[in-house]
Structure 1
Amino acid sequence: MLNVSLVVMADFAIKSNPGMESGIFIIKQALQIGPYHTQIWSYQRWVVGFLVLIDIWVIVWRLRRRYAQYQLQHIIRELHYIAQGHFDHRISFKVRGEQQQVITSVNSLVDSAIQSMDDERKIEQSKDELITNVSHDLRTPLTSIIGYLGLIEDEQYHSQEDLLKYTHTAYEKATQMKSLVEDLFEYTKVRQTSAPLNIMSVNLDQMLEQLAASFELEASKKNITMSAETKPSNLMIQADAEKLGRLFSNLIANGLKYGDGATYIKLTAQQKNNEVQVYVSNDGAKIPEKSQNHLFERFYRVEESRSKATGGTGLGLAIVQGIVDLHHGNVKVESNEKETSFVVTIPIGYQADQAN
């Protein structure tokens, strides 16, 4: 109806203006082609055609706009569904244009949120496990300390020898607790990636020789020989000397505790390009393959080594892993029937902005 009204109005305007009507007639006469003087001009046809094109454009625009609104409403419904707790749901349909970017962003956001929730859940679980393990490891020696001191308090001993025995046992248990607390404190420090390192130039050759000498007396009691070798000699690296010393001390102590039947512990360092590899090796019993992938987990100990004589805190190798991570290196274990080696690889030059 609108188109008809416009045509009628245009026709009335032309007919009511003789000059315009005369001009249009002249144009029509000039636009005749062929032997039959076919006219290609008719303002009514042109006006109608133009209006039809406008109508088609308006219809297409409205349909596309309505479809875009429908897609947006569908996306909003999907978002509401996910927000209700269906975090495993994703917006699966494909659209064109900017709305597809919205869908992709929403799916990525949900994936990121789920990952963050899982990480937070694992952190909470890890904290609970840490508290449980520490509580268990502290309660056992603490119970013994209280028990033996209680016997002394109640004078439940028959001789000076019994008294010394009780106090000695309480002292050993207290020392065990102190070791656990120190290891736990060191573990929490090395797990803080933002903790500052005291980076300095370290002569690795001298450090390994000093470490071998410091453990020589303890090793000799078990008929184990200590040795250290660095290639090239006087190899200098950039590292935190205190933490690096703790790292290798833990590995040596681990070999002394668990290297059943070992006759030697060798510290061997060699430079490879811009890295240094340090091997802490012994010829003791092989570490079971099923345990090798778990050695650096906190509180993990190989089942065969759980005894009063050798059982440690279970944090030594976890501390090693933390110190290696702070230096942007890696550590692994290689164990067979002949030899067990812990291989530490760290960059020679420390870079504070280097990714872990």
Structure 2
Amino acid sequence: MLSSEKKKPPKKLSREIMGRLLITAATALFFFGFLYLTADSIAVTYYLEKGIVLTEGQLLTLQAWIRSISLLTAVLFFLALFLFLLGQKMAYLQEMIQGVEALRTHRLDFVIPVEGDDELTELAESINFLSETERRLRQRETELQEKKERLMRELSHDIRTPLTAILAYSDYMGQKERPEQEEIQEYIALMQRKARQIKALTDRLLDSGSRQLECIEDGRLLMEQLAGEWEETLEEMFSCSVETKDCPQFSGMFDIQELRRIFDNLASNVEKYADREQPVELRIDSMGHRLRILQKNGIEKQRTAAESNQIGLESIRQIAAFYGGAVSVSMAEEVFWIQITLSEIQEPHL
């Protein structure tokens, strides 16, 4: 046996029951003596007052009867008192049986009151611990399931944006009778880029949403590229204005596909709800020590807020939150503003 192994504590419940048994026996013995002496004294006093003289045999018989009745009464008293004291433990044991049954039927709100300091108390604490653990596991399982479903909705929504772009590019090229070779190569490159984006999104979906962070040394160049892709998506339908001259030089660890999802969701929101008669503005700069992306567009009058399922906006919020940023949205006078802040800006390494 290892020296670090603890010795088992003495059984408290058996000692408690034995203690109650001894107390009950002592009480019953006292009750028997008190009852016997009292009854014998009353009988003697009665016969003396009546002037009745008993023979020795009659006196012994009377004492035997008194002793027998007192003993029987004391035994009944002992049983009644012991069963009463034991019944308290049995009632507590019944509560534990109910707790086990509740745990078996997944009624996890059942709590056994903790009373005393014995094995039954430890058993009640163990049952309550199992119930609480099961409740937390179920809550955690529900949260994970909701998170998984939310991730699937968001990524499925984000996949539609590059897929729509690929369909638009292919339809455009299919409608042209004699497209120029340079134009063909340009659209092939665009479709390949969008296809790789779809692959990255589906890979992340299959990989349960894991991020692929990489060190970005020239963050300004990356922002300019993403803003350029945003403009390419919208320039045929909207008058776009992109401003990146105030974007600072920065570096950091980023998942490029997540950043691209931000711009894709912004472009998708413009395509669905923006007024095509009004310009769409995109600005990338800094606010304090954080990178900021700001988009402004008019709202098409026929569109209402109820038409949006907010999946794209929620996706942007979660990405921004991962980098320690936030998203604020404003709609006033048929103009939509969205401001996205990301992580604190770090100067690039020289």
TM-score (norm 2): 0.49
Structure number with higher helix proportion: 2
